[in-house]
Amino acid sequence: MLKLRLAVNVPKVVKRSFGTNIPALQKATDPIQQLFLDKIREYKSKSAGGKLVDASPEILKERESELEKLQIIYGGDKGVDMTKFPQFQFVGMEIMCLLDYFPYSKLL
Protein backbone atom coordinates (compact mmCIF):
# COMPACT_ATOMS: atom_id res chain seq x y z
CA MET A 1 0.00 0.00 0.00
CA LEU A 2 2.80 2.39 0.94
CA LYS A 3 4.76 1.56 -2.21
CA LEU A 4 1.71 2.32 -4.32
CA ARG A 5 1.23 5.71 -2.66
CA LEU A 6 4.90 6.56 -3.09
CA ALA A 7 4.84 5.47 -6.72
CA VAL A 8 1.90 7.78 -7.40
CA ASN A 9 2.81 10.82 -5.27
CA VAL A 10 6.60 11.11 -5.62
CA PRO A 11 6.52 12.04 -9.33
CA LYS A 12 3.89 14.69 -8.59
CA VAL A 13 5.98 16.23 -5.82
CA VAL A 14 9.15 16.17 -7.91
CA LYS A 15 7.37 17.78 -10.86
CA ARG A 16 5.84 20.47 -8.64
CA SER A 17 9.15 21.23 -6.90
CA PHE A 18 11.04 21.28 -10.16
CA GLY A 19 8.57 23.73 -11.66
CA THR A 20 8.73 26.17 -8.74
CA ASN A 21 12.48 26.09 -8.11
CA ILE A 22 13.78 26.47 -11.66
CA PRO A 23 12.74 30.14 -12.08
CA ALA A 24 14.52 31.01 -8.84
CA LEU A 25 17.74 29.42 -10.08
CA GLN A 26 17.79 31.22 -13.42
CA LYS A 27 19.82 34.37 -13.95
CA ALA A 28 18.10 37.70 -14.27
CA THR A 29 17.46 38.36 -17.95
CA ASP A 30 15.18 41.33 -17.47
CA PRO A 31 17.18 44.61 -17.34
CA ILE A 32 14.99 46.00 -14.54
CA GLN A 33 15.47 42.84 -12.52
CA GLN A 34 19.23 43.04 -13.09
CA LEU A 35 19.24 46.71 -12.01
CA PHE A 36 17.37 45.76 -8.84
CA LEU A 37 19.91 43.05 -8.04
CA ASP A 38 22.79 45.46 -8.68
CA LYS A 39 21.28 48.00 -6.28
CA ILE A 40 20.84 45.35 -3.59
CA ARG A 41 24.48 44.31 -3.95
CA GLU A 42 25.59 47.96 -3.86
CA TYR A 43 23.57 48.61 -0.70
CA LYS A 44 25.00 45.46 0.91
CA SER A 45 28.56 46.61 0.25
CA LYS A 46 27.86 50.14 1.59
CA SER A 47 26.13 48.94 4.74
CA ALA A 48 28.86 46.47 5.67
CA GLY A 49 30.29 48.86 8.30
CA GLY A 50 27.01 49.05 10.22
CA LYS A 51 26.66 52.81 9.74
CA LEU A 52 24.01 54.82 7.93
CA VAL A 53 24.18 54.47 4.15
CA ASP A 54 24.77 57.68 2.17
CA ALA A 55 24.25 59.88 5.22
CA SER A 56 25.10 63.54 4.87
CA PRO A 57 27.06 65.35 7.62
CA GLU A 58 23.85 67.12 8.67
CA ILE A 59 22.06 63.82 9.21
CA LEU A 60 24.98 62.42 11.21
CA LYS A 61 25.08 65.58 13.34
CA GLU A 62 21.32 65.39 13.98
CA ARG A 63 21.63 61.71 14.90
CA GLU A 64 24.36 62.46 17.43
CA SER A 65 22.32 65.29 18.99
CA GLU A 66 19.28 63.01 19.32
CA LEU A 67 21.41 60.31 20.94
CA GLU A 68 22.78 62.88 23.40
CA LYS A 69 19.22 63.97 24.27
CA LEU A 70 18.23 60.36 24.94
CA GLN A 71 21.32 59.89 27.05
CA ILE A 72 20.39 62.90 29.20
CA ILE A 73 16.75 61.83 29.51
CA TYR A 74 17.57 58.28 30.60
CA GLY A 75 20.40 59.16 32.96
CA GLY A 76 23.48 58.20 31.03
CA ASP A 77 26.62 60.18 31.72
CA LYS A 78 29.11 61.09 29.03
CA GLY A 79 31.24 58.13 28.10
CA VAL A 80 28.68 55.59 29.29
CA ASP A 81 27.69 52.97 26.75
CA MET A 82 23.89 53.21 26.67
CA THR A 83 23.59 50.11 24.48
CA LYS A 84 24.65 47.78 27.30
CA PHE A 85 22.13 46.35 29.71
CA PRO A 86 22.62 47.82 33.20
CA GLN A 87 24.33 45.69 35.83
CA PHE A 88 22.32 45.37 39.04
CA GLN A 89 23.92 44.60 42.37
CA PHE A 90 21.61 43.59 45.16
CA VAL A 91 22.91 43.89 48.69
CA GLY A 92 21.66 41.16 50.96
CA MET A 93 19.53 42.35 53.83
CA GLU A 94 19.64 40.91 57.32
CA ILE A 95 16.64 38.73 57.93
CA MET A 96 15.05 39.34 61.29
CA CYS A 97 12.78 36.98 63.11
CA LEU A 98 9.59 38.62 64.36
CA LEU A 99 9.39 36.16 67.23
CA ASP A 100 12.48 37.77 68.73
CA TYR A 101 10.58 41.04 69.05
CA PHE A 102 7.12 39.64 69.63
CA PRO A 103 7.12 36.41 71.57
CA TYR A 104 4.55 33.86 70.53
CA SER A 105 2.65 34.21 73.79
CA LYS A 106 2.03 37.92 73.14
CA LEU A 107 0.70 37.29 69.64
CA LEU A 108 -2.14 35.11 70.93
Written as one letter, the residue type at 52 is L
Return the higher-pLDDT residue of 11 and 14: 11
Burial class of 40 by CB neighbour count within 10 A (0 to 12, 13 to 18, 19+): exposed
pLDDT at 81 (0 to 100): 75
- Report pLDDT digits (tens) over 51-69: 788 889 999 999 889 888 8
- Check pLDDT > 60 for residue 95: yes
- Check pLDDT > 80 for residue 36: yes
